Amino acid sequence: MNYNKLSIDKNGFLLIDNECVNNIFEKIHGSNNFFEWLISSIYTENKGELLYVKELVEKKISGNFPLLICGDDCDFSCTIVVVKVEYSENVVIWNKLGTVKKDVNYYENYRNSGIRKIENWTDNDWKNYGSIAYDILYDENFFSEWCSVNWNEEVYRRTWGYYHKYFNDDNNINWISKINFNFELNNYVNCFKD
């Protein structure tokens, strides 16, 4: 099998076989500079989102991977381009390209998908937060204060609790095109690690 080579240039742009991913996707999409201002999700300024992106790669989780994000916001709150990723043995395959549709109930759904989603709590969460569960759920001031003190943890929880599920429901994706890029696993993982 011939592999594509994934790399990052000195300006932080993802390259496939030495061509900028943004340019490749621009040609596929046939748009006027839609991809020009997008950056790799590994440059999200949000620590919880960055940890999520790295875990998707490290744990080899197949699904809709948030590859590019808005360069102005540098997080998952704006434009998001996903690729459908499949992991097998020593190969990583991108086989679809799409954009995430905006959720009309985004704010409420996102806001309540972190620590407030107690059905996702582990035994450790119950041990640590069980005594304040009522306040987290029903006292807005308490919840806001908890979030301000524990913001990175809350965003990480929200990213897995909301974004991951939202991204991986194909009804929430505007699929642009089928694509066919195959990467050798170590090359792929090392690119996102660095």
Q: Name the residue with higher pLDDT: 15 or 89.
A: 15
Question: DSSP letter at 114?
Answer: S
* Side-by-side strand order, sheet with 19-20: 6-8, 14-16, 19-20
As to burial, measured by CB atoms within 10 angstroms (0-12 exposed, 13-18 middle, 19+ buried), residue 91 is middle
pLDDT in tens, 57-86: 999 999 999 999 999 999 998 999 999 999
Residue length, the chain?
194
Per-residue confidence (pLDDT) for residue 153, from 0 to 100: 93
The pTM of this model reads 0.91
> Are 115 and 157 within 8 A, CB to CB?
yes
Dihedral Cα 33, 34, 35, 40, nearest 10 deg: 140
pLDDT in tens, 106-119: 888 999 999 999 99
What is the domain partition of the chain in residue ranges?
6-102+170-193, 106-155
